[in-house]
Amino acid sequence: MEIEFDAKKVQTLFNDFSLMSRKIGIDITKIIKKRYEQLKAAETFAEYLLTGLGKPHSLSGNRDYLYGISITGNIRLIVQPVSEDLSMESLKKCIKVIIKGAEDYHGDKITTYIP
């Protein structure tokens, strides 16, 4: 699958995992890198969803076009499938996602790990 990035800052970190490790820690970086490689290995976003890796789940509210992929108990990689809609039929054709960042959106406050 093709992967694009929401912002230059996000792309910079994904192009340099040692930099990411210095910014957010080695443990979180290792899991983010694993999820990134798993996304790249899938042919479509639907194929990735069916693996269940990282417990991908659709978000709601003002983020209803995004998916969260678990990194740790609370930290999620936030991705946006590039498709007509989020129906399974559209996601079976979806060959590109945009990585928005990584954050903890649980509770009252959002903590951003990758902007």
Domain ranges of the chain: 2-108
Of 53, 42, 82, give the one whose Cα is nearest residue 65.
82
Task: Assess whether pLDDT exceeds 80 at residue 106.
Answer: no
- pLDDT for res 63: 86
pLDDT at res. 62: 83
Q: What is the pLDDT of residues 43-80, one digit of tens each?
A: 999 999 999 999 999 998 888 899 999 999 899 999 99
| CATH classification (class only), 2-108 | alpha beta
- Rounded CA-CA distance 13/60 in Å is 26
Cα distance between residue 99 and residue 35, in whole Å: 11
Beta bridge partners of 103: 76, 112
Residue 112 pLDDT grade (very low, low, confident, very high; cuts 50, 70, 90): confident
Rounded distance, CA 107 to CA 115, Å? 19
Residue 10 has pLDDT above 90, yes or no: yes
